[in-house]
Amino acid sequence: MMNDPLFHPGWIRFNEQRWGLSAEPLTLAPDKGDAWKLETVLYRNSHGRLVTPPRNPHLPVAFHCASERPASRNRRKRLALTRLADYLQQCEFGGSLSLSSIVDDVRPFEWANMAARPRFTYHLDIATREQAIDPSARKKARKCQRLGYRCEVTEDYDAVAECLAGPEVRKGFDYRLDATELARLAELMGADHFACFLARNAQGEAMGTRVCLYAPGGHALAWSAGMKTEAMKDGVNNLVAEEALNFFDRQGCSVFDFIGANIAPVAEMKEAWGGRLVCHYAISQRGIRQLAREAYVTARTIMRRESK
């Protein structure tokens, strides 16, 4: 079983259709035996370059090892990632490749003359969340309920898209999703891997949403979220997150990935849920621009030291 819902065939198909990409499932293994296996899904654009598709938090990676001994597992994982780095070294990138947090050793990529930039998210253990969540997060969800809000799993994709428009207006970005695209993704992935949570106020108006991808028994990803500006003070974001966690607990999911913690206000909001800070990496090739940037940073560091 794959823990990451980004391995789902419907998700892969959505990326191909929505962004005009070609998916390239990749399986690496030793030349002999079955001591380890690494699986991932890469995507190529129309020019044949490897890319991370829009709206993908990472490229999924699964590592299987026949031994649980730390020494054997570490060595075999290094060998597997070295094979992946060798493969990527032969390809042309169309941008950086954001890899799953399963890739926690970036040395093979650096040895292959690639650059690795750390990115962060929070992983919350769903089974033990009651002890982890800050009381303030629960308090805001209770306030929202007292105001008459209710949250449900929905197929009202027009209402979901309407809520997603809230942060687009406030923050000036584009989810690049409308109701039609949401409905198509729901059809491709099915209700056992795709869920929309919608909060309505006492008047029945849609005020907040969270769109999630999940693998029953595996990970749930907080893929997209949107709250109308007038509802933010009511704690609607907390109510929707709480409902999502309860839902995924019933589905047997093990981890809730809050997707992203690289912006200070976002990190502050997400850390209240008690998740573990997790690092994953964006891999890029060392072209002229990357080398120039590294030279600039090195020169500035030397100048600062000499000026002291």
Question: What is the pTM for the complete model shown?
Answer: 0.90
What is the 8-class DSSP label of residue 71? H
Tens-digit pLDDT string for the chain (308 aa): 689 999 999 999 999 999 999 999 999 999 999 999 999 999 999 999 999 999 999 999 999 999 999 999 999 999 999 999 999 999 999 999 999 999 999 999 999 999 999 999 999 999 999 999 999 999 999 999 999 999 999 999 999 999 998 776 666 667 778 999 999 999 999 999 999 999 999 999 999 999 999 999 999 999 999 999 889 899 999 999 999 999 999 999 999 999 999 999 889 999 999 999 999 999 999 865 555 555 555 566 566 666 65
The CA-atom distances, in angstroms, between 73 and each of 27, 83, 86, 112, 229 are: 18, 15, 20, 21, 48
Options 2.160.10.10, 3.40.630.30, 3.40.190.10, 3.40.50.1370; which CATH number does 123-278 get? Answer: 3.40.630.30
Alpha carbons 101 and 274: distance in angstroms, whole number: 18
Domain boundaries defined on the chain: 5-119+279-307, 123-278
Q: In this structure, what token pair is assigned to residue 262?
A: 């690289």
Tokens 């197929």 sit on residue = 155
- Helices 179-189 and 157-171 cross at an angle (nearest 10°) of 120
SS3 assignment for 205-230: CEEEEEEEEECCCCEEEEEEEEECHH
What's the topology of domain 5-119+279-307? Aminopeptidase (3.40.630)
Q: Let me know: does 121 contact 257? Beta carbons within 8 Å.
A: yes
